[in-house]
Structure 1
Amino acid sequence: MSDLYYDPWHVDIDIDPYPTYRRLRDEAPVYRNDEHGFWGLSRYADVDAALKDTTRLSSAKGDILEVVMTDPVMPPGIFINEDPPLHTIHRAIVARAFTPKKMRAIEDKIRAFCVACLDPLVGGDRFDFVEDLGAELPMRTIGMLAGIPNSEQPAVREHANEVLRNEAGKPMAIAKDRYFTGEMFGEYIEWRENNPSDDLITELLNVEFEDETGTVRKLTKQELTVFLAVVAGAGVETTGRLFGWMGKVLAEHPDQRKELTSTPTLIPSAIEELLRYEPPGPHVARYVATGDVTFHGVVVPEGSPLLLMLASANRDERQFQNADRFDIHRKPGGHLTFGRGAHFCVGAPLARLEGRVALEEVLKRWPEWDIDMSCARRSRTSTVRGWDSMPAVIR
């Protein structure tokens, strides 16, 4: 009887899951958790193939393991929980907000947000990568993009944070009949209908598209509400966790941090390596929809929830040389943190932009810091892995 055990809610494993991931890749690349009733893939090649396989592996029951296992009533408009062709139609609408041209246009504003977060802290002896930066910058950026008033943005952040929390060691509770309503955005949408502006809500209110029935129409109020909830939740919560890892990992690699300070052109590749090394979203789930699937001779039955371990794939030595080593000179690309194929993260350009600008601005002010791990606080969520607080002591 093997002592190999993994589930994403296990508190002790989650502190450092990488030794367990390594054992899974070596001993059980197709893993079955009998206690919770799900299957898991941990090797890069398998996760990569599964992410691209929208025919047999469906997102229609969700992309979070607890959601897939609960199989709730899924409201229309959660485009990350749709399969092509519906997903393709809805995704194209949202992707308008994240084009390279739009990203270039907002870089100065993101930098101004970043400066506003950091400048008041200059001269002090410490600052917090999460509380002072990760909790603020993504919230302000999404608020600006969506057209959510400044005074309401903290409520959006708190909601995004709260819905992903789980009790330590247990799966997140999912309401089967009331999943992901996005209702808090209803009033913003109504307000924007009467007060149009240059923002995502106004753009989505007016966009016309051809739906899956061939009908040219505008988004329904419910679709629009859920769209915004998806964009805001992903943009605030996952990107926010990136900043905690930025502070911790670079403190642990002072030589590479020093190199980034002297050669800022390396910062984009450092962000890519950070995303590979400690992905804020460590896994996604799928549902085996059309017949049994087989990996390495192991049959995963139709109807099974399947966990795709992105964080494990990112450390697979079959794909990456010295995979457990953080290396800002690693050739960028290849990691699966943003997914692959049809469901590749639509907000990836924005996350990369925020990460790059934030690291540039931090290093300008504080080229050296230590982390006070005695005061660092982990986030209690299985879906997004990271920190609620990552205090840096300025040297």
Structure 2
Amino acid sequence: MSAATEIYYDPYDFAIDENPYPVWKRMREEAPLYYNERYDFYAVSRYADVEAISVDWQTYTSSKGILMEMVKAGIPTPPGLFIAEDPPEHDMHRLILSRAVTPKRVLVLENRIRELCAEYLDPLVGSGRFDLMQDFASQLPMRVIGALVGIPDEYLLTLRDQVEESARLKEEKPQEEQRLPSIGEPYAPFLEFKKANPADDFLTTLIEARFKDVLTGEQRGLSDAEILNYVGMLYAAGVETTARLIGWLGKTLADNPDQRALVVADKSLIHNTVEETLRYEVPSPIQVRVTTRPVELHGQTVEAGKIVTLLTGAANRDPAAFPDPDTFDIRRKMDAHMTFGKGVHYCFGAALARIEGRIALEEILDRFPKWDLDLSGAELIHTATIRGYHKLPVVL
């Protein structure tokens, strides 16, 4: 039996998820095209492969679903959920969203992000310990998206819990039911309110949007389902991934106090600290595509209609792309990591995530230049696509 056949990777295995890097390393070296018989999917782990497949949407489609369970169940893409569409529908829906999430609106959010950081962090000064996730990181992104969309604060905590719980894997196996088609339902009351009370905000912009449908050629506005799925997508993607990024900032800097001391002494390193953390611990380390035709990869034929998972977390630790990749180095010079993808499906919220990560780190370091972790109380959240902490106690 060859060493390659002994490799086992399973995105639903909680033990692997705790530390996937050893198995990802073996996959890169011994099985660059890995096949999992149990769930019938392929996986690529090298940077060059993940990059090439990311940009080739014609061969590796997103339109069959963004979760493995969604693909296997044959669940149709909810209207407006452009991350599970390909051009031209993808481009049409993404352009509409770009008109609603303007650079001006994102810039205005910067001040709000800083205010929210102070609201959460100031009471923790002198506390001796707190939970970075529960007391801060899981709260901030929800409030930021709420400010962008125009949803009242008092409704947000319930929404955050719903989003996190809907993503969580209850057992070490695929979810039997997918909640993705109803991703926008919790926001329906706000849509009706905005129709009656328009304002200069995200929801009103979507309500008033008019465009040419690329499929029918007709001029039309967005349906309620499309608008709600836009909002649901922003919450599900933006809140969860940004919360985990902030958690990883706390974890990696605690694990690397020499690097933390560097950035405390030189705040100009904050930008690169965020980028290195995004490379080193990817909040969403697995993406799903489906082949539209037979393809040859590493001497093997992958038939049409097969699931190919892109292990961005493994690609970001590929020594062919990043020298000494398992070392966390905030002075690292890098061309581009794969955390936000590449090509037409490049993460729409990348700019906002980077802003939130930068400001959150600035505000944390201003108040807490040193901290330790109480890993006995730490808890990873296990989902099909997100990897990061649900609880992360810090000791000051």
TM-score (norm 2): 0.96
1:154: Cα distance to partner? Answer: 1.2
Cα distance between partner residues in 2 of 1:345 and 1:184: 23
For each residue in 1:67-115, what CA deviation from the matched residue of structure 2 results, as whole angstroms up to 9, or x when unmatched? 2222213221111100011101101111234444332222111100111
Query: Which sits farther off after the overlay, 346-355 or 197-206?
Result: 197-206
Cα distance between partner residues in 2 of 1:27 and 1:101: 48
* SS of corresponding position for 2:326: coil
1:116: Cα distance to partner? Answer: 0.5
Cα distance between partner residues in 1 of 2:341 and 2:242: 15
1:346 is aligned to: 348
2:107 equivalent among 95, 98, 104: 104
Query: Which sits farther off after the overlay, 28-37 or 195-204?
Result: 195-204
Cα distance between partner residues in 2 of 1:250 and 1:368: 9
1:169: Cα distance to partner? Answer: 1.5
* SS of corresponding position for 2:382: coil
Closer, same or farther: CA 260–198 of 1 in aligned 2, 3 Å = same
- Give the partner amino acid of 2:338: L
* SS of corresponding position for 2:158: helix
2:337 is aligned to: 335
Cα distance between partner residues in 1 of 2:342 and 2:177: 26
1:175: Cα distance to partner? Answer: 4.1
1:222 equivalent among 225, 239, 244: 225
1:197 is aligned to: 199
**Contact 2:69 / 2:178 at 8 angstroms: preserved in 1?**
no
In the TM superposition, 1:357-372 aligns within 5 A as 357-372=359-374
1:273 is aligned to: 276
In the TM superposition, 1:26-105 aligns within 5 A as 26-105=29-108
For each residue in 1:18-43, what CA deviation from the matched residue of structure 2 results, as whole angstroms up to 9, or x when unmatched? 01001001111011100111111111
2:250 is aligned to: 247
Is 1:22 matched up with 2:21?
no
Cα distance between partner residues in 1 of 2:265 and 2:198: 45
- Give the partner amino acid of 1:126: R
**Contact 1:100 / 1:349 at 8 angstroms: preserved in 2?**
no
* SS of corresponding position for 1:26: helix
2:237 is aligned to: 234
Closer, same or farther: CA 175–366 of 1 in aligned 2, 3 Å = closer
In the TM superposition, 1:163-174 aligns within 5 A as 163-174=166-177
Query: Which sections of structure 2, spanning at least 5 residues, go unmatched?
Result: none
| Number of aligned residues | 392
In the TM superposition, 1:179-190 aligns within 5 A as 179-190=181-192
Query: Which sits farther off after the overlay, 91-100 or 70-79?
Result: 91-100
1:135 equivalent among 138, 156, 160: 138
* SS of corresponding position for 1:322: coil
2:213 equivalent among 211, 214, 220: 211
2:381 equivalent among 366, 379, 382: 379
For each residue in 1:268-311, what CA deviation from the matched residue of structure 2 results, as whole angstroms up to 9, or x when unmatched? 1100100000011011001112x101112211110101111000
1:324 equivalent among 320, 323, 326: 326
- Give the partner amino acid of 1:328: I
- Give the partner amino acid of 1:158: D
Detail structure 1 runs of 4+ shifted over 4 Å in the superposition. none
Query: Which sections of structure 1, spanning at least 5 residues, go unmatched?
Result: none
2:116 is aligned to: 113
- Give the partner amino acid of 1:3: E
* SS of corresponding position for 1:110: helix
- Give the partner amino acid of 1:114: C
**Contact 2:244 / 2:387 at 8 angstroms: preserved in 1?**
yes
**RMSD, aligned α-carbons:** 1.4
* SS of corresponding position for 1:163: helix
Cα distance between partner residues in 2 of 1:276 and 1:98: 25
1:300 equivalent among 281, 285, 302: 302
Is 1:311 matched up with 2:323?
no
- Give the partner amino acid of 2:132: F
Percent identical residues: 44
For each residue in 1:107-158, what CA deviation from the matched residue of structure 2 results, as whole angstroms up to 9, or x when unmatched? 1111001110101111110122211111111000000001111111112212
1:8 is aligned to: 11
* SS of corresponding position for 2:181: coil
- Give the partner amino acid of 1:380: H
Cα distance between partner residues in 2 of 1:134 and 1:219: 33
For each residue in 1:133-192, what CA deviation from the matched residue of structure 2 results, as whole angstroms up to 9, or x when unmatched? 11111000000001111111112212211221112321123349x834521111110011
Closer, same or farther: CA 207–30 of 1 in aligned 2, 3 Å = same
TM-score (norm 1): 0.96
